[in-house]
Amino acid sequence: MADALEAWLAELRGIEGAAAATLRAYRADVTRFLGFIAAHHGGAQGIAALRGVTQSDLRAWMAHERARGVTGRSLARALSAVKRFYRWLAARDGFDATAVLAQRAPRFDRGLPRPLAANEARDVLDAAGTVSLEPWVAARDAAVVTLLYGCGLRISEALAIDGGDVPLAQMLRINGKGGKERLVPVIPAARIAVTRYAQLSPYPPQRGAALFRGVRGGVLDQRIVTRMMQTVRQRLGLPASATPHALRHSFATHLLSAGGDLRAIQELLGHASLSTTQGYTAVDSARLMEVYAAAHPRR
């Protein structure tokens, strides 16, 4: 079982270019499943035990996970990982995996994205460049958050930009989740912020090296950006939901509010499914109802 899992993860890493965080999550989810199946059948039985898994076994595993406090959302994610593993294993070993692939995920309430208001997003962009007293670090922080909000990038995507891409063109090629490429328009404010950072940085941008660097010259760590955002939101009195990823949510929500096409926003964000992007329509509708309830003369 363990050998099969490692072979699958190696293929995801080498062929699909899966991110390290994705591989860690898959390994943890599938390992727990394999451990349960082995124990459920009275001890390790190798691949033979996996071929014979029934929907009854799956329901027992899911009940076990819920009993130990796993949320519906986390269990749905784990089941998705198990299904991907089974799809690969069935193709490799030539057995019928219908029992696993047909299992429905548990229902759970999808939390709505929590974007910032437009004025709050502008305040964050202004404040990010004032956290550090070191001019080039301040310019770096301002450039990163401008890319997150101005281009809708994930933080991992922004920090993966190559030094050879400077000065930024009007369109930026981004490698997103699962190695999927997309083209993202770069607004002038983002190009200006990145150019200023590149001019001040003691580590000149080089092709093949990360654009954004830490103070010691290594690749900028996401945790540093997260801590910077924590400082910013404390200064501005923003809620804990004002994270780097909230700037990406804000990008999508504000585009939608301004009349942006849902399909176009899906492409800009790199969402595989339109249903993921549709979550922003719920946010927009919820805000509209709040305004309506507050302003209607007969409330």
Q: Give yes or no: 180 in active site.
A: no
Q: Give yes or no: 182 in active site.
A: no
Q: Give yes or no: 154 in active site.
A: yes
Q: Which of 291, 288, 250, 255 is nearest to 115 (CA)?
A: 250
Q: Measured between alpha carbons, how far is 57 from 30 in angstroms, rounded to an integer?
A: 14
What burial class does residue 132 get, using C-beta atoms within 10 Å of its C-beta: 0-12 exposed, 13-18 middle, 19+ buried? middle
Q: Which of 51, 177, 182, 287 is catalytic?
A: 177
Q: Which of 140, 191, 196, 248 is catalytic?
A: 248
| Cα dihedral 175/177/179/181 (nearest 10) | -40
Q: Measured between alpha carbons, how far is 41 from 51 in angstroms, rounded to an integer?
A: 12
Task: Please provide residue 184's backbone torsions phi and psi, each rounded to the nearest 5 degrees.
Answer: -120, 125
Q: Which of 154, 191, 233, 249 is catalytic?
A: 154
Q: Give yes or no: 177 in active site.
A: yes
Q: Which of 26, 149, 197, 280 is catalytic?
A: 280
Q: Answer for the pair 102, 109: CB distance below 8 angstroms, yes or no.
A: no
What single-letter amino acid sits at 286?
A: A
Alpha helices in the chain (DSSP H): 2-11, 20-40, 47-51, 55-67, 72-93, 98-101, 118-128, 135-151, 155-159, 188-200, 222-236, 244-257, 262-269, 274-277, 279-295
Task: Please provide residue 213's backbone torsions phi and psi, each rounded to the nearest 5 degrees.
Answer: -120, 155
- Other beta carbons within 10 angstroms of residue 253's beta carbon come to 27
Provide the annotated active-site residues.
154, 177, 245, 248, 271, 280
